[in-house]
Amino acid sequence: MAPTSTARPSFSRGAGAPRRQGGAGGSRRGAPAGRGRRSTFERPKPEFDHKTIKVRRVARVVSGGRRFSFSVALVAGDRNGRVSVGVGKAGDTALAIEKALNQAKRAMIRVNLTDKKSIAHETFAKFKAAQVTLRPAAGRGLVAGSATRVVLSLAGIHDVNAKVVSRSKDKLNIARATVLALSDLQTRTKKPPVETK
């Protein structure tokens, strides 16, 4: 009696064997969902632009040692006549910036500008050791440096010659002096009050 041969199962795919079709979630090499699509969501434009002018690391001695925090000074404005300076202190830089921006929004001033986004007359202001002079300069653009340029730029002011006439190098004091000088401006188009008899 001849021994019966047992045929092994063939794992090779024949010519007529149907191929497996992977499902939508079966392939790991596919592009992630939504990769080629552009999001229609747009972030709302902030009301005020801001620029940091000073960052300090402050240490306070407590019973357990020294505790560090950050002090941030920034200038905020809408580039259309409103500007201010804010200072914030926190243990994190981002939180200090947020506090400074909130303070600047609360102390915002409206600058009296001419039709050409310049100032009507010369003005001067002093804050602590910082002294700033602003003069109108038609056709010359914004001639300023240090924190004065930041304040004037965020206020949307053009054709102004600004000069720091003191030896102070503190950017926060210079920025505050510039804001004080802008707050004293008056427009030429303003009519004097009429006296009533």
Domains and CATH numbers, the chain: 49-109 (3.30.160.20), 111-183 (3.30.230.10)
The residues with which 124 forms a beta bridge, in sequence order, are 133
Q: What percent of the chain has pLDDT over 70?
A: 73
Nearest to 75 by CA among 189, 171, 197: 171
Average pLDDT over every residue of 65-69 = 90
**What CA–CA distances, in Å, run from 167 to 78, 101, 143, 154, 181?**
30, 28, 18, 24, 18
Per-residue pLDDT, averaged over 175-191, amounts to 80
Confidence of residue 63 (pLDDT cuts 50, 70, 90): confident
| CA dist., res. 69 & res. 101, Å (int) | 17
User: pLDDT per residue over 79-97, tens digit each?
Assistant: 999 999 999 999 999 999 9
Q: Which of 176, 79, 86, 84 shows the shortest CA–CA distance to 132?
A: 176
Distance CA 73, CA 86 (A): 6
Longest dimension (CA), the chain: 143
Q: Which tens digit of pLDDT belongs to each residue from 121-164?
A: 999 999 999 999 999 999 999 999 989 999 999 999 999 999 99
132 within 8 A of 181, measured Cβ to Cβ: yes
- In this prediction, residue 7 carries a pLDDT of 54
- The conformational region for residue 63 under phi > 0 = left, psi -120 to 50 = alpha, else beta, is alpha
Q: pLDDT at residue 180 above 60? A: yes
- E strands in 63-156: 65-77, 82-90, 109-110, 123-127, 130-136, 142-143
* Residues facing residue 163 across a β-bridge: 133
Average pLDDT, the chain: 83
